[in-house]
C-alpha cells in the first residue's frame, strides 16, 4: 500500500505555500520525487512476499493482482550453468523484466551445485573448485545487480538434502566466498541469511548453525532470515520465534546473542500445505499469521511458501493457487489483508487472547462451567503435545477444528471426550509422568466408547469421514516409540 498520508502532506503544503512561488516549486519538486520513488522504483517497503521459484508470467500476474510486493526467486546454478561456461539466463531474464515492469521487488536465492562442478554428485555437494562457485556468483550478480538488490546464499544448508556437509564447510566453501564476491561487486547490495530450516534433529539443529554462521559472517549479513514451519498453529510459531520451547532457545535469543538485534529479521519461508490441512484451514493460518505479524515488531517481512502448487511425485500442495491457477481461500485472504480489508481492531480474537477453536465457538454459551471445562481441555492438550513426539500430534491437528465442532454439537461426545481428558489428566497428576497413556486399558476403552458414538446414525453424514481419521489416530497411538518423563 502506498503511504497516502505523505500524499496528503504534500498537497496540504502545496496550497499552504501557494503565496510563495519558490516554496511552491520546491514542494512540487518534492512531490514529483515522491511519485517517482513510489511508482518507478520497486516497492521495497512492502512487508509481504511469496516464494515463486521461476513461475511463469501468468502466475506472476496473480502475485501482482494480490498486491504482494516481493517475490523470492530461485537462481540455481544447476539450471543456469548446466555445462561449464555455458549459461542460460532466459528464465531469470524474463522474471526480472516482469518484476521491473510491474513494480515487484526480488529476493534472489542462489544455490545447488551442477554435477560437472562436484564430480558428478548431487546438488547438495559443494564444488571441488571454489573459484567455479565464485565465478558463477559474480556472473549472476553483475548481470542483475541493477535490479536485484537482495541476495540469499543457499537454502536450508542445515538439512542434508540441501547441503551434504557441516556448518564450517558451508561457511568457508559456500557462504563467505559468495558474500565476499557480492560485496566486492557492490557494497550496497544486501545479503540475507542464513535461511536455515527450523529443524532441531541431531546434526541439523538450527540454533547451532545460526550461531556459527552469524558469528563467522557478521561483517557480511545485512538481514537475518529464517524458515519456520509449524503445524500446531501460529501461536506455536511465534513462541518458537520469541520464546523458544523447553531447552531450545528462541530464534530472537540467538539473533540478539550474536549482536544482530539491530538488523532486520525476515521469515523467508513459512506456510501450510493443503494435503495436510484443508484449504479453509490454510486460509485461517494465513490470516492468524498476518494479524499476529501486525502486532509484533518482528518479522519485518514474510515470504509465504508458496504461490502455486507444484506438480511432481514428491511435491505437496503448499500453494495459494491450485495447479490450474485458480485461487484457494488463502490467496483471497492474503490479497484482502494487504488491501486493508482486515482492519487492526482491538477485538477479542483467538490470536490476541490465545483461545483455541473450542473456546471461540462457545463464547456465547450460557454455561460458564462448560466453557471452563473446554478451557481445561485446551490446557491439557497443550501440555501433552509439548512432550509427546509422534505422528498422532500431526494427525490430531488435521481434524482438530472439526472434532471440536462435532464435540460441541453432540453433548454425548462432549461428555465422553471430557471424561477421557480427565482420566489422562488424573493419570499424569498421580504418576508425575506420561507412561503410554493411550495403551492403558481403561483409557483405550473410553476412546472406543467415543468412536462408537461417532458411528451412531443421528450424527451428520460428514462425521463418518472424521470417524475414519479419528480411528487412524487411535491406531497411531500403538506406535509410540518413546516414553518421555514429565517433571512436575
- The whole-angstrom distance between residue 241's C-alpha and the CA centroid of its chain comes to 11
Listing DSSP states for 174-213 in one string gives IIHHHHHHHHHH-TTSEEEEEEE----STTT-HHHHHHHH
- Residue boundaries of the structural domains of the chain: 1-40, 44-338, 355-479
- Determine the average pLDDT of the residues in 133-140: 98
CATH topology of domain 44-338: TIM Barrel (3.20.20)
**Rounded Cα gap, residues 424 and 483, in angstroms:** 15
Length of the chain: 488
- Determine the average pLDDT of the residues in 321-332: 97
Which distant-in-sequence residues (6+ apart) come within 8 Å of 484 by Cβ? Answer: 387, 388, 389, 433, 434
Cβ neighbours of 188 (radius 10 Å): 8
pLDDT at 29 over 70: no
Q: Quick one: what percent of the chain has pLDDT higher than 90?
A: 53
Tell me which residue of 282, 323, 286 sits closest to 302, measured CA to CA. Answer: 286
pLDDT at 4 over 60: no
Dihedral sign computed on CA atoms, order 272, 276, 282, 285:
negative
Mean pLDDT of all residues in the chain? 77
Lowest mean pLDDT among 109-123, 322-336, 343-357: 343-357
pLDDT tens track for 347-382: 434 444 444 433 343 333 333 444 444 555 555 555
Count of CA atoms in the C-beta half-sphere (13 A) of 183: 15
pLDDT at 35 over 60: no
pLDDT tens track for 216-232: 999 999 999 999 999 88
- The conformation of residue 343, written as its DSSP 8-state character, comes to -
Assign 325 to helix, strand or coil.
coil
Query: What pLDDT sits at residue 354?
Result: 43
Amino acid at each position: 500500500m502506498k503511504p497516502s498520508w505523505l500524499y496528503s502532506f504534500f498537497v496540504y503544503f502545496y496550497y499552504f505555500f501557494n503565496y510563495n512561488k519558490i516554496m511552491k516549486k520546491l514542494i512540487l519538486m518534492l512531490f514529483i520525487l515522491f511519485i517517482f520513488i513510489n511508482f518507478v522504483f520497486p516497492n521495497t517497503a512492502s512487508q509481504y512476499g511469496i516464494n515463486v521459484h521461476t513461475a511463469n508470467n501468468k502466475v506472476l500476474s496473480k502475485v501482482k493482482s494480490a498486491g504482494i510486493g516481493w517475490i523470492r526467486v530461485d537462481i540455481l546454478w544447476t539450471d543456469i550453468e548446466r555445462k561449464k561456461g555455458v549459461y542460460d539466463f532466459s528464465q531469470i531474464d524474463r522474471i526480472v523484466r516482469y518484476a521491473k515492469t510491474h513494480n515487484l521487488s526480488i529476493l534472489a536465492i542462489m544455490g545447488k551445485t551442477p554435477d560437472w562442478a562436484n564430480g558428478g554428485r548431487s546438488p547438495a555437494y559443494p564444488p571441488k573448485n571454489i573459484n567455479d562457485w565464485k565465478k558463477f556468483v559474480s556472473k549472476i550478480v553483475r548481470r542483475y545487480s541493477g535490479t536485484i538488490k537482495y541476495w540469499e546464499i543457499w537454502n536450508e544448508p542445515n538439512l542434508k538434502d540441501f547441503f551434504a556437509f557441516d556448518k564450517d564447510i558451508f561457511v568457508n566453501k559456500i557462504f563467505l566466498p559468495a558474500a565476499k564476491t557480492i560485496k566486492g561487486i557492490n557494497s550496497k547490495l544486501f545479503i540475507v541469511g542464513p535461511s536455515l530450516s527450523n529443524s532441531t534433529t541431531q546434526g541439523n539443529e538450527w540454533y547451532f548453525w545460526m550461531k556459527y554462521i552469524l558469528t563467522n559472517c557478521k561483517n557480511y549479513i545485512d538481514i537475518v532470515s529464517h524458515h519456520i514451519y509449524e503445524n500446531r498453529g501460529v501461536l506455536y510459531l511465534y513462541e518458537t520465534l520469541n520464546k523458544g520451547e523447553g531447552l531450545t532457545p528462541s530464534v530472537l535469543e540467538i539473533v540478539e546473542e550474536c549482536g544482530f538485534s539491530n538488523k532486520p529479521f525476515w521469515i523467508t519461508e513459512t506456510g501450510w500445505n493443503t494435503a495436510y490441512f484443508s484449504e479453509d484451514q490454510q486460509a485461517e493460518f494465513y490470516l492468524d499469521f498476518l494479524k499476529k505479524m501486525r502486532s509484533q515488531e518482528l518479522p519485518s517481512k514474510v515470504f509465504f511458501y508458496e504461490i502455486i502448487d507444484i506438480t511432481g511425485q514428491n511435491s505437496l500442495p503448499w500453494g495459494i493457487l491450485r495447479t490450474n491457477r485458480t485461487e484457494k481461500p488463502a490467496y483471497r485472504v492474503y490479497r484482502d489483508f494487504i488491501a486493508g480489508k482486515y482492519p487492526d481492531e482491538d477485538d477479542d480474537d483467538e490470536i490476541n487472547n490465545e483461545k483455541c477453536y473450542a473456546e471461540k465457538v462457545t463464547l456465547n454459551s450460557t454455561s460458564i462451567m462448560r466453557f471452563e471445562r473446554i478451557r481445561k481441555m485446551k490446557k491439557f492438550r497443550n501440555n501433552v503435545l509439548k512432550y509427546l513426539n509422534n505422528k498422532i500430534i500431526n494427525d490430531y491437528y488435521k481434524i482438530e477444528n472439526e472434532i471440536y465442532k462435532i464435540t460441541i454439537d453432540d453433548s454425548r461426545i462432549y461428555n465422553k471426550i471430557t471424561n477421557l481428558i480427565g482420566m489422562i489428566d488424573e493419570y499424569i497428576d498421580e504418576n508425575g509422568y506420561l507412561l503410554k497413556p493411550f495403551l492403558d486399558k481403561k483409557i483405550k476403552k473410553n476412546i472406543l466408547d467415543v468412536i462408537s458414538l461417532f458411528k451412531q446414525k443421528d450424527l451428520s453424514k460428514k462425521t463418518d469421514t472424521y470417524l475414519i481419521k479419528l480411528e487412524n489416530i487411535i491406531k497411531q497411538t500403538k506406535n509410540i516409540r518413546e516414553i518421555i518423563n514429565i517433571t512436575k
